[in-house]
Amino acid sequence: MPVLFTDRDLGKKFPEILRDAGLTVERHADHFAPDCADEIWLAEVGKRGWIAVTHDGRIRYKPNELAAVIQHCVPLLVVIGHAPYPQLAHAFVATWPRIRSFIERHEPPYIAKVYRPAPSAATDDAAAPGRVELWYPKVDSYRQRSVLAAGAAGKIG
């Protein structure tokens, strides 16, 4: 069973709901200080082979954080949607079979978006799954990783 690491931005209830559903979850608060820089915890998540789960869709646009995802081969899932965290967590659990299939088919590093089900599907079936989409593809070559890392460090521009 993969280990999910929930970012601090998902609070306490989100990981509790995932654990209650039988998923293995490590919380940010159990391993890092609240003000720990994202690139620090991303490096550790990659080192431990965990799957990072966040609600921060801006990670893709922050060079230092994107570089950490790539350099440390992090599989990163971004929960998409504006809803209370318990609602997002229940949608994540309902989508888990699709998420797991996605994880099995994709080698990190990557960033994928996890969506809730469409409102019409959720109305018809409370356990309707959402979808998972690759957002930032794997960087395949060492050169690409080096260039991105240098850019994140401000060495090229």
For residue 146, the enclosing domain spans: 3-152
Res. 150: pLDDT tops 70: no
Amino acid at the residue 82: H
Structural domains of the chain, count: 1
The CATH code of the domain that includes 41 is 3.40.50
Cross-strand bridge partners of residue 134: 112
**Nearest residue to 44 (alpha-carbon basis) of 71, 18, 11:** 71
Q: What is the pLDDT of residues 107-126, one digit of tens each?
A: 999 999 999 988 766 556 76
Mean pLDDT value of segment 39-64: 95
Kindly state whether residue 157 falls inside one of the protein's structural domains.
no
H or E element at residue 87: helix 85-105
Kindly state whether residue 44 falls inside one of the protein's structural domains.
yes
E strand intervals along the chain: 3-6, 24-27, 51-54, 75-79, 110-115, 131-136
